[in-house]
Amino acid sequence: MAREQVKVNVYDMCSFNSYISALGVGVYHSGIHVYSTEYGYGGHPFDFTGVFEIDPRDEEALGEDTFKFRETLLIGYTDFTDDEVREIVQQIGNEFKGDQYHLLHKNCNHFTDTVCKTLCGKGIPSWINRLAYISTCVPFLERCLPKEFLTPIILEENIREKVMQSSENYTQSIELNESQDLESRQRAQRRSEQKFFLNSTSKRHSLL
């Protein structure tokens, strides 16, 4: 069975990373690259997955003003097929919902690390997610990060599509319920008219 590379694409999220990365500190986004797809995770206020997929190293899809590709790291190899990888990512995505995003405990790098360990038994280098550990000493840091750091452009587009679809489904549901209510009222009216007709006929027969 062919073994597929499991790679991690790392992105700089701050222009000052070039100055502070030598100290082992930086603001990074990471995505896991397997076969021809890169999977990532971001935050949003809804109760569904925050996992998304892009073409590998696609800065524009993430938001090129915020995300700058830095490097690709080979983590290991996997025997899972492309379809199996997608299924695994989907299952893990159920545990990484948008409204559960947290800079310290559940960020994009935690997602990448979890998927890497599942696919090849190895996690990502610790320096990628070091900001999460440093943030424990600076609890207000997450509130200082721009929204774009938490929600990449491609994820915002996915959210809009889901919200619009949910809105359309809700509207269709209301219209269906209204239609069913109208049919129920019409059936009730017909039954009432039939009952009235039968009662009237019965009374006429009694008089005769």
Distance from C-alpha of 190 to C-alpha of 192, rounded to nearest angstrom: 5
Active-site choice (14, 44, 108, 116):
108
Distance from C-alpha of 43 to C-alpha of 54, rounded to nearest angstrom: 16
- In degrees and rounded to multiples of 5, residue 37 shows phi and psi of -130, 145
Please say if 116 is a catalytic residue: no
Give the chain's radius of gyration (CA, Å). Answer: 28
In the sheet where 37-41 sits, what is the strand order?
51-54, 37-41, 28-34, 4-12, 68-78
Please say if 108 is a catalytic residue: yes
* Paired residues of 7 in beta bridges: 33, 74
CA distance readout (Å), 74 to 41, 71, 109, 113, 164:
19, 10, 15, 13, 38
Active-site choice (14, 29, 33, 110):
29
- In degrees and rounded to multiples of 5, residue 80 shows phi and psi of -70, 145
* Paired residues of 106 in beta bridges: 102
DSSP 12: E
Catalytic residue list:
29, 108
